[in-house]
Structure 1
């Protein structure tokens, strides 16, 4: 740090993506810079939002000059490309600043800022060996102000250590049975990892060695060819069945609904023809930009048939789903952590509409509508089931390159209106929610976890022991674990 006799120099970079509410992101980024200036900092950095490769290149020179503090304002969601390009070799920690969701209940996610910070944290910890920190809150909040005041004096927020104390385990025989049921299963992948989505990278040999799961990959163009080859009568039949199951589908543009029916039919045919046990799909950008439809409802339809489906071609997420379901979890859902209600120890878990309708709070009211972000294709729009839940995620172990670790958490999904368009669960955690969210970001965990409504943590812990994977356990408080109901 330079002497505090001079104003501390702070580099502020505000990252965003144009598919979110750019106007709100710009306003909050401006307020963030103003607060740092008010606190006595000399603020430098690009004035506008960093959203393009050219913006990233223009931001780099600001980091070439020594600074007392580097702040990445996650003005909205962004993939992790800027994180690695700007901070991957930075000697000092970057402070990731995420905002609260400002939109009304039932609207789309305006910013998805917290998820963006989560993705940045994973990239920096796992792929760059860095130690990012997190401040979460809006510029006008007193807690945000106190955190930044301390940071300007060299006292950055702490890195939350991964909790190692774990609960009960199933016996070895049960774990062996889970692994035996996975051996030889095939996971179908469509496309490569989306750009900047570091959690979607994977080691196929590691997956095969640990779990016996084989990976079969086709290109996005291959899938599009399968969609084009779907017989018109088959597409009409699938559309009719989907409409009968969820009459709200009738409110969606029929052309887009028929395209979704073609996607569903093509996915189902690929699954059946290749004996696939699960799928991980590169769901954007090509599906909306080239095919004119997001595949969320198709992922939901296939999931309702008992085949786990993961979006954003998240392989480790899909393997986690296979593992949990082999352990007896029932149907699961891949979710982002998008909002924190610290006073209630609640986190809101969400994705944009690919949940199986069987997971709806009321399956008869599992509304289908136009995709909330792209305004193309069909997606579910309904709250997820209430009741006890557990969360899990296989992910890279930054302390042991080439190895995995297993994240576990638990809580209760509580009743509330669907907070965000798509599928949302409000989960009251069994642990301190602020600590959990901070631990996700500073510990380099992915933005995706897998949510289930049956507690299979004892089985998962036993499997992890059997294959030599360390467990990071944000579980129930001491003394309350022990049975197999969450």
Structure 2
């Protein structure tokens, strides 16, 4: 997997006439917490070399802080309030940087008394966010809570994931392998709008180019290919396939991976079953294996599906694989469950430990594990972009072929209505974990309409 690298500028603020010692104490407390949140992914850039105790309260220091953050190429800004704060300082930096901004301040322990002045942290944040709105700053907020609380830790964690999604979309290059299958009008996408509105670039690559690269790998009897074939056969029962068929399916994975990396593409959309005659093998296994490499590729040249998958992988900070599934049939006994299925392109890493993986005609066959799953779909209509999202869990259900998981929601009827009346198709993305609130917040920054699966939309009859 390819982990994200998130750079966050930290610009604490205090009111000029309030206690520096108390502000410093607050800063040390929250810095100790955030330094321990995804240190393998997050780089924190402080202002200790510019401001007294690394806390911004002098307007003349704004320019220096902004210059440092620009040199560091920060992806996001954190403006924690050590007390009431200086809104002109916090908002001034945020307005200049124009990156996702997080506002938070620790809950005050006590009110003011005649003997001592408190911090008035919440009061100052109300003032600061008003100024940010005037300056056109887009910001997120963690409610006024204690530094040591789970609310703060979870809020900061969620903000990191939001930034990861935004960064992934705005820098996304999608390798588009071939055209869509002729019958699938539903997967059409507006590549021009994706480029101008979101910064997503679609890079066309011919299936013939993939086939030629596969032939080269096989013709050279590449040790890399032979090692990979051995690895596949060790993990999956391929006894029903001829040796040369397994080799060609493995070559497809390596060829697609090489081409994506050469074109600097982080996701792909593959003309799969309709390109089998060109490729000489199904690419189902290749798609699942590529997702495990951190290179998610959608089936049936679903470009919007590729965007969906890129967002889902980013929400895990690049640490977990995602999958793209068909919405197929309702559970025979469970009215709130649906079969998320496809012919065999799911990541092996998500396989249930009790399920035996098989490779049949180049297609994987196994059941995914149980557990919490977030499902979403990025799509468009009439020039507007939507992000459908909701949470559920994998549950027991009848065995079937291909790769699959039975997915239970709180109210499938509401989900089904949303999906039928929204600008969506039969493809949805899935990721293990609960990330709806992160996707909702990322959609706000990206100018997408977030379509909450748990909020009633148009009713069916």
Q: Aligned residue for 1:190?
A: 177
Change in CA separation of 1:476 and 1:332 when aligned onto 2, cut-off 3 Å: farther
- Residue in 1 that maps onto 2:443: 464
Distance 1:469 1:277, change over 3 A: same
The answer to whether the 8 A contact 2:269-2:303 is kept is yes
Tell me if the contact between 1:187 and 1:278 (Cα under 8 Å) persists in the aligned partners.
yes
Matched, 1:415 2:404: no
TM-score, normalised with respect to structure 2: 0.59
Pick aligned residue for 1:258 from 247, 255, 267? 247
Distance 1:303 1:467, change over 3 A: closer
User: Are positions 1:351 and 2:342 aligned together?
Assistant: yes
Name which structure has the greater RCO, CA cutoff 8 Å, separation 6+.
1
Structure 1 unpaired stretches of 5+: 1-167, 371-376, 478-486
| Structure 1 residue 170: Cα displacement | 6.7
How much has 1:336 moved relative to structure 2? 0.8
Aligned residues: 296
Q: Could you say if the C-alpha distance between residues 188 and 476 of structure 1 is closer, same or farther in structure 2, counting changes exceeding 3 Å?
A: same
Name the CA distance, whole Å, in 1 between partners of 2:180 and 2:303. 9
For 1:91-130, what aligned pairs fall within 5 Å after superposition?
Answer: none
Asked if 1:227 is matched to 2:214, the reply is yes
Paired with 1:202 and 1:469, the residues of 2 have a C-alpha distance of 15
The alpha-carbon distance between structure 1 residues 416 and 194, as it changes in their structure 2 partners (threshold 3 A), is: same
User: How far 1:475 moved relative to its partner?
Assistant: 3.1
Does 2:208 align with 1:218?
Answer: no
> What secondary structure, in the 3-state scheme, does the structure 2 residue paired with 1:381 have?
strand
Q: CA 1:173/1:424 → structure 2, altered by over 3 Å: closer, same or farther?
A: closer
1:394 equivalent in alignment to 2:381:
no
CA contact (8 A) 1:461 1:471 kept: yes
Deviation at 1:450?
Answer: 0.4
Shift of 1:424: 1.4
Provide the TM-score with structure 1 as the length reference.
0.56
8 Å contact from structure 2 (residues 292, 347) kept in 1: yes
SS of equivalent residue, structure 1 residue 437: helix
Residue 284 of structure 1 pairs with residue 273 of structure 2: yes
Are the equivalent residues in 2 in contact too, given 1:170–1:461 (CA < 8 A)? no
Q: CA deviation at 1:332?
A: 1.0
Distance 2:455 2:364 in 1: 31
- 1:436 and 2:415 matched: yes
Selected match of 1:323 from 297, 311, 314: 311
2:192 is aligned to: 205
**1:211-241 per-position Cα deviation (integer Å, ceiling 9, x unaligned):** 4332211122222222222244223332122
SS in 2 for 1:180: helix
In structure 2, list runs of 5 or more residues that go unmatched.
Answer: 1-142, 144-153, 457-461
- In the alignment, what sits opposite 2:404? 424
RMSD (CA atoms): 2.6
Deviations 1:188-224 (A, max 9, x none): 1100111121232112233234443322111222222
Take 1:181 and 1:354, find their aligned partners in 2: how far apart are those partners? 22
Pairing 1:340–2:330 present:
yes
